[in-house]
Amino acid sequence: MNKTVIITGAAKGIGREIAIKFAKSGYNVCINYNTSEKKAKELKSVLDLLGLSSIIYQADVSNREQVDNMIDTVLNTFHSIDVVVNNAGICEYKLFNDLTEADLQRMINTSIMGTFNVTQSALKKYMIHNKCGSIVNISSIWGMVGSSMEVNYSTSKAAIIGMSKALAKELGPSNITVNVVAPGAIDTDMNANFSESEMREFCDEIPLGRIGKVEDIAGVVKFLACDEARYITGQVISPNGGIVM
Ligand code: NAP
């Protein structure tokens, strides 16, 4: 039986590439999206043309009922959940003094509650009983070292690291690994607001001299879910071109 992966926020950017990587490795893929329906359908068509197995599912990861329904649908369709990739995320650039309670709550709801909802639902409904599986949570270098004007983003990404390490300890006896991928700057819509000169300046500080590509992240996520990585848990792997060591 093919293994099954759920990837949140998989219609575009890093999540899309992760979905393609797993699909090409023979996984059944649940492509979760929230607002990018057209892009999710396009991705499904690409995978269909390649003869690869996938479904698309609209769910706001901050909404537990929608998440529970998504997990039920995946189990009814594919009969297992082997890998969960919590990739959905939002960013926001603001001075700390301009941040509102609502800004922080939105960040917490998407990043922390989203990861909590999808992970707990998949664990309760399948993974704990199956005593096998991998959870990969997407954080950021800014969750490791902090970013000026991104206090709420950095806070949420640091929380993902704490949650993952604690959960890795709790789930070890159930043979479920929990790891974090903390990318550096990657070329996606999330960085579309930076000007060319800002990006050039940023590149100058990266030892490998370039912004990351979505492929640089997808390969690491896929590795953490594969058999060769069964002894890796509670780790933070940071593909970042060397900007954070
Ligand atoms: P992106 O292209 O903006 O993608 C973000 C994804 O998150 C979208 O697919 C979006 O879905 C999804 N999403 C947001 N809120 C959601 C919600 N409530 N429910 C379900 N899905 C939701 O950005 P990206 O660069 O690929 O980011 C992917 C992950 O990598 C994020 O966690 C981000 O923080 C992290 N990251 C990115 C970078 C970078 O430089 N790009 C660096 C470090 C970490 P819809 O479009 O369907 O709404």
**Residuewise pLDDT in 10s, the chain (245 residues):** 899 999 999 999 999 999 999 999 999 999 999 999 999 999 999 999 999 999 999 999 999 999 999 999 999 999 999 999 999 999 999 999 999 999 999 999 999 999 999 999 999 999 999 999 999 999 999 999 999 999 999 999 999 999 999 999 999 999 999 999 999 999 999 999 889 898 899 899 999 999 999 999 999 999 999 999 999 999 999 999 999 99
Q: Which residue has the tokens 């922390």?
A: 112
**What ligand 1 atom has the least distance to the C-alpha of 212?**
40
| 229 C-beta closer than 6 A to ligand 1 | no
d(CA 240, CA 220): 12
User: Is 153 labeled as catalytic in the residue annotation?
Assistant: yes
- Global pTM exceeds 0.85: yes
| 238 C-beta closer than 6 A to ligand 1 | no
d(CA 17, CA 10): 8
| 17 C-beta closer than 6 A to ligand 1 | no
d(CA 140, CA 95): 19
DSSP structure class, residue 57: E
CB neighbour list of residue 76: distance below 8 Å, 6 or more residues apart: none
Helix (H, G, I), strand (E, B) or coil at 237: strand
